[in-house]
Amino acid sequence: MRKKKDAIIIWPAYLDSKLSRSEGRRIPSNLAAPDINIGILRKAAEAAEFDFEIEPEKRYPRSWYHRPGYLILQNPEGHKKKRLLLMLAKSLRRVVAQREAKRKQETKKRKGKRKRRRR
């Protein structure tokens, strides 16, 4: 396979805070987020205004039994991979915060509708 200098592959494991460095995380755990998948990475790349492509059925070599897919970021400026990961992590944290706020709001709505039984 020929190496592309203008594109960089980003696996979801690079940004998952539940994984250790030996399991594939590439950024500090305080900048990473839990339960990352290709859909969340897509939203984060859109928020950071990156040009990207998605390969959904690819397997990460360190966990070959899952098919997480990966993101191919276009890198015309020639940034290093670590810098791109940190820029993506910044927008990823915003996307995850919105996801958590939405989840919290939905549970709040459900709690209001539930009736208590009296004994």
- Indicate the pTM of the whole model: 0.76
Range 3-29 burial, b when 16+ CB lie within 10 A, else e: eeeeebebbbbbbbbebeeeebbbbee
- Summarised one tens digit per residue, pLDDT across range 25-36 is 899 999 999 888
CATH superfamily of the domain spanning 7-107: Signal recognition particle, SRP19-like subunit (3.30.56.30)
Residue 112: predicted pLDDT: 60
Q: Where are the domains of the chain?
A: 7-107
Return mean pLDDT, the chain: 85
